[in-house]
Structure 1
Amino acid sequence: MYDYIIVGAGSAGCVLANRLSRDPDRRICLIEAGPPDTSPFIHMPLGLAALARIRSINWGYSTEPEAELGGRRLYWPRGRTLGGSSSINAMIYMRGHPQDYEGWAKHAGDEWGWESVRRLFLQMERNASITDDHHGTEGELCVSDLRHVNPLSRAFVEAGVQLGYPRNADFNGASQEGFGLYQVTQRDGRRFSSARAFLEPISHRPNLELRTGAQVQRVVIQHRRPIGVSLADEMLRLKAGGEVILCGGAINSPQLLMLSGIGNGKDLAGLGIEVVHHLPAVGENLQDHLDITAMASANGRDAIGLSLGGLPRLWKAWRAYRRGEGELTSNVAEGGGFVRSDPSRDRPNLQFHFIPAYMRDHGRQVSFGYGFTLHVCDLLPKSRGRIRLASADPAAAAAIEANYLSHPDDAGTLLAGLKIARRLLAAPAFAPYRRAEVLPGEEIQSDDELLAFIRGRAETIYHPVGTCRMGRDDGSVVDPQLRVRGVEGLRVADASVMPTLIAGNTNAPVMMIAENLAGMMRRN
């Protein structure tokens, strides 16, 4: 029997397992549906280009047909291994904008405001490159500059400056706005996931049990309190007064709540699920960063690409990687930018990710030749979707209704971003490398044509949040201490509790959420 059962050994679950197992008198079980993180493609940073195709470590979800995107089903890769999505992402270390967390504080109190969470970010961070007051140097999460920067990524930063935007050496520093190179969660040129940072160093603790390849089917609840969790062939039990903490992410956590009888009572009853607690907000409030790409062909001078003539370059890169150097240490999305779609806005609402290579269909489509790709996403979308059960079968994927572009303002924001992206790729800084625009294509010029291109090509940039929203109001799923309303001893700690999306990549904020919860539990 356990004091704490943590469901999901991802970005948040590994942090919680580390913090809660510090007390030797508490017995913790950490459960992961996927396998151990042994794939070499996980640890080699450039290997992320292949991770979307490895189904054993990726849930490989798809949305329902999206009405505003031509009825397309969008592919949503999510991590299914130790470290979760921190083991398959682009390793970008980004906290977001201070205003994001001031917004959270209005929903959930000052413990989620910027000054409170900033302290937690610094506490967790071990930055090897920047040591000023904006960064931590003694935490477990290794953050560093890129070991290798492609010349095209430097050209991208120069292109931003040529268009009149500021140069920014630290997106997590005094200001987020401008163009620069991303910092990454790496150590010695290898990926440094949440599992490597928080789980691997404490795997010897006798009070921590780790189970991989074990998918939880439901939380077993009696008298409004969990008594354990059900796996395919056994039940893991809690001690009296113990807690279950869901860390499955914005898709799996609301799905598991609903499978356990917590959600919209009418919907659950319609699937034959016994209703434990009617909580209609479960699965609602889904938000994600929708992304559109511009692309240009390159002369092969420095772009990463596939060709027979590139084999010697690949061999050289492999030899360098064995020393923790070279192109294979690239996180792929090396260059970044944060700008405003309209100068009247009070902060950036567009984010760029620059890739010095062709990148199509999340890396699932192999592209021969040389080129470069520029992603731009709407940081503050107004559209809202939901997660719902498609079946009472725990093995069936949940239905993802992202409802992208359902708010009319979102299409206009992406249109503005795509126009800026085209200007960036046409800037003088790219002249030594650029051949021609590939996407959207020179023939596409009018706003209507560009909007049609967006609706036909836009994809996720992998930041779903909000489906177990935290708040002080009765309409939220969890309270500010991340306790599920109406049930004792059950919490959620992952991206699903975010009331609103942050303006940036979500991985570091998810780890911070777990750190904040661990502190609350320790104090209480």
Structure 2
Amino acid sequence: MEASSITVSLQFLLLLFFTTIFFPSSFASQQQDKPPSYLKMVANASEFPLEDYYDYIIVGGGTAGCPLAATLSQSHRVLILERGGVIHGKLNLMNQEGFLNTLLSATANNANNEDSPAQSFVSEDGVLNARGRVLGGSSAINAGFYSRADCEFFTKSGLNWDLKLVNESYEWVEREIVFRPDLKTWQSAVRDGLLEAGVGPYNGFTLDHATGTKIGGSTFDSQGKRHSSADLLRYARHSNLRIAVYASVERLLLASSSSSFAPNSATGSSVIGVLYRDQNGRYHHAMLKDFGEVILSAGAIGSPQLLLLSGIGPRPYLSSWGIPVAHHLPYVGHFLYDNPRNGITILPSVPLEHSLIQVVGITNSGAYIEAASNVVPFLSPPQTAFIRSSASPLYLTVGTLISKISGPVSAGFLRLASTDVRFNPIVRFNYFSNGVDVEKCVNGTRKLGDVLRSRAMNDFKFRNWLGVRDFRFIGPALPNDQTDYAEMADFCKRTVSTIWHYHGGCVVGRVVNRHLKVIGIDSLRIVDGSVFSVSPGTNPQATLMMLGRYFGLKIIREREGKGTHEL
């Protein structure tokens, strides 16, 4: 029998648009802890000198930038330039229940509002998305799921990985900010449903990527408090690290080999510093000391955007904007990918607790299955002949199952919308333009159907007037005939959304080399997800934090000319 559906208000549909997968998991205490020690290193950009010199200037205090800075500061003077503020004191960020409000705020407010920790944007594909704008980056606004990369990632990423150092770097992160979640009703049922649906074996709790069903780590602790990459700044040497917040980097400062600023340039051009602007509109110069580097950690949107604004990119395109060409690098902003998400949301017959993503089904057919649950307000129409108006909202419990495809091959691109760095660039991901991605999505959504048909899901069904039990869907339901490939493919394209795991734009081999140095420019690296042509496993934040620690150690060893240096 066809599954039944319910009518919902326009307001509720808009709410679900933002909350389809990531929901608050518990009502944590609203009391704030004592300020973290790293705040002693933080100051508003307006308080910084108009010119100063550093060994390393890191543009972006995000998921990779914070562990990178903490590591480099052990031996060198480091500056982080973060365009947003700090997480501490913001209840919506510090606690699990604030995820929804953070995204709603980002959408409701102007996208260029520097006080918003998330900056929304809509791709040309018509899909709403967001990027972090706060110390800690997107690790401070996400759902907290933590899982290491799959082994295939390390062979396909184009980098010559030292796997021993990789594991040590993961462990360094995990000691500080990773916790084991406590499964309750919905997550336990999804785990059992995945196993019934053949997504095995059961791997229990593990931080490693393993085919089958597993419980992953969380960056929310047992009290529901968020931990982000900013917490890794605890490891920093405070005397060596300065963090400027509300610092908008306008462009890189370059010098030619004939200049006295870059006498030893091996390529002809070298970065000598950055120009940034504070909230008062004043410009500051952060300059490099001898043998120093600027390191972009501004993410898959920010890093290629800043290269283009600095005259590093395709010559004809830069010329069309009137931007002086410093270095012709044709693939800046190209090979941009986003892992598409599709799923269903149900109104269960029993109350559910809040839960973020805690369980994942790693299939062998190119898709990952995850789930979340939440209590959301049902905003009924203000006037109705059947329901008395009330100032107190009604609440509905919803459960969500989603499928994310692994390693999309459909590639997009990024281009400028303005020469003002504060404006989002124009992004197109070209979801499902390659049939391989469509096939993976069909496989994943069929697996969602298998989970829904499992015995573990029976308790969430309603009984209709004929005595038949079935689900009540909010929004689209899966097609009735899930063996019909064309119908399933249409569902994938019609209901596509994002899981916020976009990457690329400065990929290895085309924009950076295997040491993450920008090709053709001295003293400039990129250490963030823009260098990846494949997303690392089910969720990228673990690997991005590892990347920051890993390359911090590699840079120190490279500079000191030692292979055994340990911090």
Q: Give the TM bin, normalised by the shorter chain.
A: 0.7 to 0.9
1:240 maps to which residue? 290
**Larger proportion of strand:** 2
- Which whole-Å CA distance do the structure 2 matches of 1:443 and 1:164 have between them? 21
Asked if 2 retains the 8 angstrom alpha-carbon contact of 1:377 and 1:461, the reply is yes
Matches within 5 A, 1:87-236: 87-104=140-157, 107-111=158-162, 114=163, 116-126=165-175, 141-146=176-181, 148-166=182-200, 167-173=202-208, 176-189=210-223, 190-196=225-231, 198-200=232-234, 202=236, 205-223=238-256, 224-232=269-277, 233-234=282-283, 235-236=285-286
User: Cα distance 1:115–1:389, how it changes in 2: closer, same or farther (>3 A)?
Assistant: same
The alpha carbon displacement at 1:124 in A equals 3.2
Q: Is the 8 A contact 1:377 1:414 kept in 2?
A: yes
**Counterpart amino acid of 1:462?**
W
Aligned to 2:117: 57
Partner of 2:20: none
The CA distance in 1 between the partners of 2:478 and 2:58, in whole Å, is: 51
Instruction: Report the CA distance shift for 1:448/1:437 in structure 2 as closer, same or farther (over 3 A).
Output: farther
Question: Structure 1 residues 387 and 443, CA, compared in 2 at 3 Å: closer, same or farther?
Answer: closer
Q: 322, 345, 348: which one pairs with 1:272? A: 322
Number of the residue aligned with 2:348 = 298
Confirm or deny: 8 A CA contact 2:305 2:416 kept in the other structure.
yes
- The match for 1:375 among 402, 422, 432 is 402
- CA deviation vs aligned residue, 1:469-509 (integer Å, no higher than 9, x gap): 123xxxx2111221111111111000011232222200011
Q: How does 1:350-499 map to 2 (within 5 A)?
A: 350-357=367-374, 368-435=395-462, 436-438=471-473, 439-441=475-477, 444-445=480-481, 446-471=484-509, 476-499=510-533
Provide the secondary structure at the position in 2 that maps to 1:191: coil
Q: Aligned equivalents of 1:367 and 1:412: distance in 2?
A: 40
2:541 to 507, 512, 521: 507
CA shift for structure 1 position 520: 1.5
Q: 1:442 to 1:97 in 2, by over 3 A?
A: closer
In the alignment, the residues of structure 2 paired with residue 117 and residue 268 of structure 1 have an alpha-carbon distance, to the nearest angstrom, of 37
Q: Is the 8 A contact 2:71 2:235 kept in 1?
A: no
Report SS of the residue matched to 2:218. Answer: coil
Helix, strand or coil: the match of 2:331?
coil
Distance, in Å, in 1 between the alignment partners of 2:62 and 2:458 is: 42
CA distance in structure 2 between the aligned counterparts of 1:494 and 1:442, rounded to whole angstroms: 36
Question: What is the total number of aligned residue pairs between the two structures?
Answer: 451
- Cα distance in 2 for residues equivalent to 1:207 and 1:109: 30
Deviations 1:213-272 (A, max 9, x none): 111011111111122211232222222332111000011001001111111111011101
Residues 286-317 of structure 1 show CA distances to partners (whole Å, capped at 9, x for unaligned) of 12210101222212x3324xxxxxxxxxxxxx
Quickly say closer, same or farther: Cα 1:287–1:89, change in 2 above 3 A: same
**One-letter amino acid matched to 2:358:** E
What is the one-letter code of the residue matched to 1:80?
R
1:21 Cα deviation from its structure 2 partner: 1.0
Q: 1:367 offset after TM fit, Å? A: 9.6
**What amino acid maps onto 1:109 in structure 2?**
N
Offset at 1:434?
2.5
Superposition deviation, residue 522 in structure 1: 0.9
CA contact (8 A) 2:408 2:534 kept: no
| In 2: Cα distance, 1:403 partner to 1:151 partner | 37
Contact 1:171 1:177 in 2 (8 A): no
Deviations 1:128-148 (A, max 9, x none): xxxxxxxxxxxxx321111x4
Q: How many Å separate the matches in 2 of 1:459 and 1:143?
A: 27
Question: Unmatched 5+ residue regions in structure 1?
Answer: 67-72, 127-140, 305-326, 342-348, 361-365
* Unpaired segments ≥5 residues, structure 2: 1-52, 107-115, 257-268, 378-392, 463-470, 559-567
Residue 259 (structure 2) aligns with: none
**Counterparts of 1:286 and 1:62, CA distance in 2:** 15
Amino acid at match of 1:195: A
- 2:147–2:537: 8 Å Cα contact kept in structure 1? no
Shift of 1:115: 5.1
Distance in 2 (CA, whole Å) between partners of 1:222 and 1:98 is 40
**Quick check: 1:179–1:337 contact (8 Å CA) kept in 2?**
yes
Distance, in Å, in 2 between the alignment partners of 1:402 and 1:480 is 25
Query: Which amino acid is 2:226 matched to?
Result: R
Cα RMSD after superposing both structures: 2.2
CA positional deviation for 1:411: 1.2
- The residue that corresponds to 1:340 in the other structure is 364
SS of residue matched to 1:29: strand
* C-alpha separation in 1, matches of 2:251 and 2:334: 19
- Percent of aligned pairs with the same residue? 29
Cα deviation, 1:70-119, whole Å, max 9, x if unaligned, reads xxx11111111010000011111111211111222xx23244xx555234
**Cα distance in 2 between the residues matched to 1:102 and 1:423:** 32
Please give the alpha-carbon distance, in whole angstroms, between the structure 2 residues aligned to 1:295 and 1:395: 35
Partner of 1:75: 128
1:278 Cα deviation after fit:
0.5
| 1: CA distance, partners of 2:489 / 2:345 | 16
Q: How far 1:53 moved relative to its partner?
A: 1.8
CA contact (8 A) 1:484 1:491 kept: yes
Amino acid at match of 1:451: A
| 1:243-322 equivalences in 2 (<5 Å) | 243-299=293-349, 301-304=350-353
CA 1:495–1:270 in structure 2 vs 1: closer, same or farther (change >3 Å)? same
- For residues 169-226 of structure 1, the C-alpha deviation after alignment (integer angstroms, 9 at most, x for no partner) is 13534x6112233211234432110001x12454x71221111111101111111112
Matched-pair contact (CA < 8 Å) for 2:70–2:234: no
SS across alignment from 2:292: strand
Contact kept in structure 2, 1:153 and 1:355, CA below 8 Å: yes
Structure 1: which amino acid aligns with 2:230?
A
Aligned 8 A contact 2:449 2:478 in 1: no
SS at match of 1:411: helix
Q: Give the greater-gyration-radius structure (CA).
A: 2
- Residue 91 of structure 2 corresponds to 40
Instruction: Report deviation, 1:350.
Output: 0.9
* 2:118 counterpart of 1:85: no
Given that 2:272 and 2:523 are in contact with CA atoms closer than 8 Å, whether structure 1 keeps it comes out as no
Alignment-derived partner of residue 22 in structure 2:
none
Q: Tell me how far apart the structure 2 counterparts of residues 380 and 12 of structure 1 sit (CA, whole Å).
A: 20
Offset at residue 410 of structure 1 (A): 1.0
> Quick check: 1:16 aligned with 2:54?
no
**What SS is found at the alignment partner of 2:335?**
coil
Q: Report Cα offsets for 1:16-45 as digits up to 9, x if no partner.
A: 11111112xx32111110111131121112
Displacement of 1:375 in angstroms is 0.8
